[in-house]
Amino acid sequence: AQSVTQLGSHVSVSEGALVLLRCNYSSSVPPYLFWYVQYPNQGLQLLLKYTTGATLVKGINGFEAEFKKSETSFHLTKPSAHMSDAAEYFCAVSAKTHYNQGGKLIFGQGTELSVKP
């Protein structure tokens, strides 16, 4: 079984500061990991994904995440926050075999990012 824990339901940073959103996962089999972003009144948009290969993954809008198997983590970072980054962010996990058969994802509770001017 898989599960995801996002540490911190709300994170607030100043514009230009580092963004760090934490995600820890549990999976007994090799995982696929995803970060999605949700802007107000919209659906979820894929930021980045880790499936195989390089453990540092770059996504859209300057975000990146590093898969650390030993720490079962997949934290999302951005060097310099912008006002437009204010949104809710979701981490999600799936077992590789399950995902390629059916595509089911397990989502974390979400982290709301606020950016102060």
Note the residues at the interface with other proteins (CB under 8 A). Answer: 4, 6, 9, 32, 34, 36, 41-46, 49, 51-52, 90, 96, 99-105, 107-110
* 43 to 38, 46, 60, 89: CA distances (angstroms): 6, 10, 16, 11
Q: Is 21 exposed, middle or buried (0-12, 13-18, 19+ CB in 10 A)?
A: buried
